Structure 1
Amino acid sequence: MEGVSENHRARSVGIGRAHAKAILLGEHAVVYGTPALALPIPQLTATASAGWSTHTSDAQGDLSFTMTGSASRAVITRASDGLRQLTTAFKARMGVVGTPHLDVILDGAIPPGRGLGSSAANSRAIVLALADLFGRELSDEVAFDLVQTAENMTHGRASGVDAMTVGAAAPLLFQAGQARELSIGCDGLFIIADSGTGGSTKEAVELLRAGFQRTAGAEERFLGRASQLIEEATQALAEGEPKELGARLTDYHGLLRDAGLSTDRIDAMVEAALTAGSLGAKITGGGLGGCVLAMTQPEQAREVARRLHEAGAVQTWVVPLRRLAHAL
């Protein structure tokens, strides 16, 4: 199959979009097979555009990559390397051959290294932009597979929850590569607060694994407690019990903190959110930096955000939790 037919060439630019995500509960445990609860963050987006270039070739091969925003040179270099691999995988999967030089521009508002799924969102936006450019129908399964391949290259063994949630329209329960919309019986708000310090998923995973190997029974205790909290949180969310859900969030933070995956600033931010009236608060993502997630009622949101900033947050976002009319 030729990759660039005349009608495909008529489309000069392809556009793709994806959004951020936060883990409510299930960090690390999800890699070992437990469920995870994940929240889409539509306020934070990644937009990619892909088009034909006038270049015939250069030192970078058949692809030019531009990343807007304030990303560091190291982040841009990693993203560029990953994009080349992702583009190659897309062409192989979709039967695209014989294409001219491509220009890809990524406009990402999701800060990297914060547990917000920036790499997965960037990859999904680029995959959708390429599909749009080449006029290819892209199923949810193929899009997930391509993003997940990129995630495994970025993070090592990725659970798949990021690759799934950056394209989701509602909170998800994710387990073993499968996802379903969560039943939501209450309204509320989540405040996401950036500590200003990037974490490292790979480093956190290795730290946790080393702890499991060092202490007999540690893995079983961690996964058992995680499973219990996730089950109780899922039930509280479905039955419209925000205080119970909040308490489970805080309990899960304690689990991750005790495993050495939090930081002094993150702990201070969690405490500040709770003192300001949050129903629950925790680190979200791989750990060793990143973001705090605080669940609150609308009337407390302003004060919670203010206290989070006082405790070290460099920016905050408010994500509504809404009761689903079609709750499963």
Structure 2
Amino acid sequence: MAQDRGAHSVGIGRAHAKAILLGEHAVVYGAPALALPIPQLTATASAGWSSRGRDAQGELSFTMTGSASRTVVTQASEGLRRLTAAFKARMGITGGPHLDVILDGAVPPGRGLGSSAANSRAIILALADLFGRELSESAAFELVQTAENVTHGRASGVDAMTVGASAPLLFRQGRARPLGIGCEALFIIADSGTAGSTKEAVERLRHSFEREAGARERFLGRATELVGRSRLALADGEAEEVGSQLTHYHELLRAAGLSTARIDAMVAAALAAGSLGAKITGGGLGGCVLALTRPEQARQVTAQLHEAGAVQTWVVPLRRQSGHAH
């Protein structure tokens, strides 16, 4: 985190992507979820003082590198202005020269990988570095979470927490703890090429709960059961059991109408190629597939995912480590 050391001419902040292993949607209702940091996909922000002083755009200019669409940049710009205002208010900063913020984000948006949270965290840390202000983890989380609530509606906090985490987390009711991992394997994350919509998926699930008596309780009960089994299996080093729970969770989300034909085809392809388990990850209605795979199967699983429609894939190693989640 940024320490008090006087203002810099350029502030730098970094964050990374995340994937939900299990617990999507249920976590919003207070059920537990398991989350995985993805350090391979990063967001880096630089913040500096503009030589232009104040101009018609107010106190901030924003640039996104890469191939982001004009719509994405416009939405991100509006969110950044709110985020910067919230940061300044929290830090007691008033006025100041015009700011230039540049965001280099490798996390594709709308894929369930936490791009908005990663971008927000990178920017918050860049601003803290620029102004030479100390920013606690809890303050960084709260600022990112506020931005997430604006972006997604009611956000669980998983994204805001995991984009700054260094190890897999158990997340429950706003609190996170490291997961015990007793096995080594690989997660292959495959992008379907179609953006999902967390807001739409949340609404769809909520309406289904309202239509059928007991539907919410059944969904949450099954989700909690699968998360619990997977957590214990991870701690005990039972990779096959973890894989089974991932696939079962995919079936839960698919039955709720939150998958797509391409996602289902990618899940089937991963399983046919020898993956221990596979599921949609994130809000749904598009996005990515997560497949747990032994290293010797990784090449075949990756090839089959691309054959089934994946536009890009990333490999995230799962390393054995002790945790504190009980």
TM-score scaled by structure 1? Answer: 0.97
Q: 2 CA distance for matches of 1:60 and 1:39?
A: 38
Query: Offset of 1:232 from its aligned partner?
Result: 0.3
Query: Offset of 1:56 from its aligned partner?
Result: 1.8
SS in 1 for 2:45: strand
Out of 64, 68, 71, which is 1:71 matched to? 68
Structure 1 unaligned residues grouped into runs of 5+: none
Q: 2 CA distance for matches of 1:261 and 1:143?
A: 31
Query: Offset of 1:83 from its aligned partner?
Result: 0.1
SS in 1 for 2:181: coil
Out of 119, 137, 148, which is 2:116 matched to? 119
Q: 2 CA distance for matches of 1:99 and 1:130?
A: 13
Alignment of 1:179-218 (within 5 A): 179-218=176-215
Alignment of 1:1-328 (within 5 A): 8-9=6-7, 11-325=8-322
Q: Is the 8 A contact 1:278 1:300 kept in 2?
A: yes
- Per-residue displacement from partner, 1:261-303 (whole Å, max 9, x unpaired)? 0000000000000000000000000000000000000000000
Q: 1 CA distance for matches of 2:95 and 2:83?
A: 17
Q: Is the 8 A contact 1:200 1:286 kept in 2?
A: yes
- Per-residue displacement from partner, 1:10-41 (whole Å, max 9, x unpaired)? x1000000000000000000000001000000
Query: Offset of 1:60 from its aligned partner?
Result: 1.4
Q: 2 CA distance for matches of 1:57 and 1:140?
A: 31
Query: Offset of 1:173 from its aligned partner?
Result: 0.2
Structure 2 unaligned residues grouped into runs of 5+: none
Provide the alpha-carbon RMSD of the alignment. 1.1
Number of positions where the alignment pairs a residue of Structure 1 with one of Structure 2: 322
Q: 1 CA distance for matches of 2:96 and 2:159?
A: 30
* Structure 2 letter corresponding to 1:127: I
Query: Offset of 1:327 from its aligned partner?
Result: 6.2
- Per-residue displacement from partner, 1:127-168 (whole Å, max 9, x unpaired)? 000000000001000000000000000000000000000000
Q: Is the 8 A contact 1:184 1:327 kept in 2?
A: no
SS in 1 for 2:17: strand
Q: 2 CA distance for matches of 1:266 and 1:149?
A: 30
SS in 2 for 1:91: helix
Q: Is the 8 A contact 2:17 2:38 kept in 1?
A: yes
- Per-residue displacement from partner, 1:243-278 (whole Å, max 9, x unpaired)? 000000000000000000000000000000000000
* Structure 2 letter corresponding to 1:287: G
Q: Is the 8 A contact 1:40 1:166 kept in 2?
A: yes
Q: 2 CA distance for matches of 1:146 and 1:55?
A: 28
* Structure 2 letter corresponding to 1:94: M
- Per-residue displacement from partner, 1:185-232 (whole Å, max 9, x unpaired)? 000000000000000000000000000001111101000000000000
Deviating above 3 A after TM superposition, structure 1's stretches of 4 or more consecutive aligned residues are: 325-328
* Structure 2 letter corresponding to 1:260: G
Query: Offset of 1:8 from its aligned partner?
Result: 3.7
Q: Is the 8 A contact 2:182 2:322 kept in 1?
A: no
Q: 2 CA distance for matches of 1:317 and 1:242?
A: 19
SS in 2 for 1:162: helix
Report % sequence identity.
Answer: 77
Gap change, CA 1:182 and 1:126, over 3 Å in 2? same
Q: Which moved more, 1:149-158 or 1:55-64?
A: 55-64
SS in 2 for 1:281: strand
Q: Is the 8 A contact 1:193 1:315 kept in 2?
A: yes
TM-score scaled by structure 2? Answer: 0.97
- Per-residue displacement from partner, 1:53-101 (whole Å, max 9, x unpaired)? 0112222101000000111111111100000000000000011112110
* Structure 2 letter corresponding to 1:22: A
SS in 2 for 1:51: strand
Q: Is the 8 A contact 2:179 2:323 kept in 1?
A: no
Q: 1 CA distance for matches of 2:29 and 2:121?
A: 24
